[in-house]
Amino acid sequence: MTLFERIIARQIPAEIVYEDDQVIAFHDISPKAPIHVLLIPKKVIPRMGEVQPSDVGVLGHLLLTVPLLALKLGVAETGYRLVINNGSDGGETVPHLHCHLLGGRPLGWPPG
């Protein structure tokens, strides 16, 4: 089981800010911005490079959840960044697709 599967199964504690039948969102333990939440599909998809056509429903739901979560976290009006890492060069550290929702301060470009 990945770290995220263990959080979904409640084997590891997390500060959960949103959950439904398809996704879960919780605060990152090493935040890079005042708001740094991970949004994860409960279905295990290792990374974007392994997405299948059958994953369209869960990925659509994941993306449609982002603006609701941004509103709840107070960054919908000021703006936020959504990041999905893929592979080691992309910064992926857990092999379970997830989105980083970052906000609460101006975010520079290009990212590091």
Encode pLDDT of 36-93 as tens digits.
999 999 999 999 999 999 999 999 999 999 999 999 999 999 999 999 999 898 889 9
**C-alpha dist (Å) from residue 90 to 11, 41, 61, 95, 112:** 28, 19, 23, 12, 11
Residues 47 and 104: their CA atoms lie apart, in Å, by: 27
pLDDT in tens, 10-42: 999 999 999 999 999 999 999 999 999 999 999
Q: Give me the torsion for CA of 101, 105, 111, 112, rounded to 10°.
A: -100
Question: Could you give the residue numbers annotated as active site?
Answer: 98
**Which domains are delineated in the chain?**
3-88+99-103 (3.30.428.10)
Of the pLDDT bands very low, low, confident and very high (cuts 50, 70, 90), residue 110 is confident
